[in-house]
Structure 1
Amino acid sequence: MTTAAAPAIRVAGVEKSYGEVRVLRGVDLEVAPGSIVALLGSNGAGKTTLVRILATLIGADAGTASVTGYDVATRSGRVREAISLTGQFAAVDEILTGRENLVLVARLRHEADPASVAEALLTRFGLTEAGDRRASTYSGGMRRRLDIAMSLIGDPPVIFLDEPTTGLDPEARNEVWAAVKELAGKGTTVLLTTQYLEEAEQLADRIAILHRGRIIVDGTLAELAKLLPPAEVQYVEKQPSLEEIFFAVVGDTGTDQAEEA
C-alpha cells in the first residue's frame, strides 16, 4: 500500500493584518509536489502577502505554514534553501549579459562550475544566442525567462512566481508560460499568483481563489466548472470559462479596498 506524498506547501489558518486592515483572515492551502497551483484573486486579495509569508520575508500573525516540511517561522533558513522567488518585475542586472547574470547567481549559490550551469540554463531557456548580450537589450519575455532561469540555480524544489507576466505582451507571456510548463515537467513545485484567468487555465493543475482574505474555492478547472449550472446545449455545448467561474464564486466584480502588500 502506497501513501500520498506530503504536500510541498502547507498553509493552515494563516492570518495577517496591517494596522486595522485584515489582509489574510485564515488561509488554508496545500500544494502537491511537482504541481502548478494558481492562486487567483483581485488586487488587494492578499496573494503577495501570502507568498511573502511562505518565502519567510514577513511573519504571519496567526496560523502555520510549511514548505517541504519545514516551518516557515521556526526553520526559515531551511525554507530559504528550498525555495526561489520570482517577483512581479524581472530581477536581472541590465548592465551584465545574460550569461554574466547566471554566472553571478551560480557563484552566490556556491555552484562548483558556474560557467557550465550558466551554459545549460541558456540552452534550456532558448537564450544561447543572446547569452553574450547585455540584459538591457532583451525583450520583456527574454528578461523574464532569464529571471526564471536564475531562480532555478541550485535546483530549488519549490518556486514562487508572483504575477510573473505582469506588463508583458501576449507573445512574451506565451514564452513565460512555456518556461513554467517546463519547470513542472521537471518536477518543480510551482505556486503561481496571477490576475490573468487565462494564465491559470493554461498552466495550473489546481486553482485556488483567494477572496477577502480567505481561500473560497480550491480545485481543478473541471471541479470549478461544476460550481455553475450545466452548460446549455443548443447547437453546440458552451462550457463556462474560468472568468465566469471566478466572478460567480466571488460574487462581485469589485476589488478589495486593501492594497496588495
Structure 2
Amino acid sequence: TGTITITDGTDGDIAITPNGDGKVQLDGLAWPTADGSANQLLSTDGSGALSWTNNSAATNIDGLSDAKSGGDNFNNSIILGHETTGTLNNANNNTAIGINSLDAITSGDGNTAFGLSSLTALTTGNYNSAQGAYSLRDNTSGSYNVAMGNSSLRDMTEGLKNSALGQGSAFRVTTGDFNVGLGFRSGDTITVGNNNVIVGGFADASKNDASNQIVIGHRATGQADNSVTLGNADVTAIYM
C-alpha cells in the first residue's frame, strides 16, 4: 500500500496524495486516482468504488424517452408525456401534454391536447382543442372540435365543429356535426345528431339523432327536432 502524505495546498487547503498506485479511501469510499475529464460525473458502483463517468443526461426535450419537440415533419410542435407512436408526416403546430395525449398523430395540424389520453386516437384531424382526461379521446380525423372537461366529446370519431364544455358533455357524439353541449353531462344522448345546442347540467336532446334542437335548463329535455325547449318539467312560468 502507498504511504499517504499530507501537505499544505497552495491556497492553504490540505492535499492528501498517496504514493505509487495507492488510492485515497475515506469512510470506505475508494476515490479514483485520475482527475477525469471536463463535465464528467463522479459515480459509484454501489460497493464503495468511485469513478468518473460521462454525463448521459438528456440535453434537450428530444433526448427524453417520453417527449418530442419540433424536428423534421413536426414543425412548431411539442408532445410531453409519452413516446409518440405516429409516423409523423408534416404534422405541424401541435401541442400535447399528458400520458398518451396526441400519440397517434401523423399529419394533422394545429391540434392542442392537455390531459390523459386526450386526442389519443387522432391521426389526420386538424385544429382540435381538448382539455381534460379522455377529452376527444376517440377522434381520428374530425376537425375544428373543442372539448373541455373530463371525457367531453369522448366517443367522437369523425365529427366536425362540435363544442363541449363540462365533464362528460356530449361524450356519446360519434359523427355528429355542429353540436354544442354546455354543462355537466349535457347532450349525452346525442350520437349522430347535428346542429343541436344543449345548455345545462344533464340537459339533453330528445333522441340520439336529434337535429336542430335547442334545450336550455337543468335537466331540461328537448321535445322535437327544429324546436326550442326552455326549462325542465318543474318550470311553471317563462318571463320574457
Same fold (TM over 0.5): no
- In terms of fraction of residues, the more helix-rich structure is 1
- With CA pairs under 8 Å and 6+ residues apart, which has the higher RCO, 1 or 2? 1
Provide TM-score, normalisation by structure 2: 0.23
Provide TM-score, normalisation by structure 1: 0.22
